[in-house]
């Protein structure tokens, strides 16, 4: 039985974000953002750091720290390609911590360098 990808698209993980997690480059910012969400769900810290732009990348991530969120779903609201190297993706990610539900609403900025898309930063929107 194939596992459905956690990114929200109705595809098998291996044929969706799994390809990117194994090293295939993302063709656009939305695909990268979805793969990063899936990486948060799966605890793939190395992938998250590798796809974070060096100018804004933290030194480390600790996805196993308590309390750990349980990611529930992703909804992409908008993907805007400003030019060949700049894009934004607005999304809402739902999660629970200690039984309490939360929403992360963010407008993320992405940058493409040497054919690779990177997460640059984002603005969290208060809902």
**CATH architecture type of domain 13-124:** Roll (3.10)
* Residue among 4, 5, 7 nearest 76 (CA): 7
Residue 118: burial class (beta carbons within 10 Å; 0-12, 13-18, 19+)? buried
pLDDT of the residue at 66: 84
Q: Which residues pair with 106 in a beta bridge?
A: 91, 124
CA–CA separation, 75 and 90 (whole Å): 9
Per-residue pLDDT of the chain (127 residues; tens, 9 = 90+): 579 999 999 999 999 999 999 999 999 999 999 999 999 999 999 999 999 999 999 999 988 888 889 999 999 999 999 999 999 999 999 999 999 999 999 999 999 999 999 999 999 987 6
Beta strand 100-113 pairing with 70-81: unpaired
Q: Which of 118, 92, 96 is closest to 107 using CA atoms?
A: 92
């Amino acid at each position: 039985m194939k596992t459905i990808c956690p990114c929200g698209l109705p595809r098998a993980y291996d044929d969706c974000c799994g390809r990117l997690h194994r090293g295939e480059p993302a063709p656009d910012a939305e695909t990268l953002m979805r793969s990063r969400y899936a990486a948060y769900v799966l605890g793939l810290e190395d992938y998250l750091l590798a796809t974070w732009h060096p100018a804004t990348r933290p030194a480390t991530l600790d996805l196993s720290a308590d309390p750990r969120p349980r990611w529930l779903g992703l909804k992409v609201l908008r993907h805007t390609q400003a030019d060949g190297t700049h894009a934004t993706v607005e999304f809402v990610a739902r999660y629970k911590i200690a039984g309490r539900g939360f929403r992360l609403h963010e407008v993320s900025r992405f940058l493409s360098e040497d054919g690779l898309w990177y997460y640059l930063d984002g603005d969290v929107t208060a809902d």
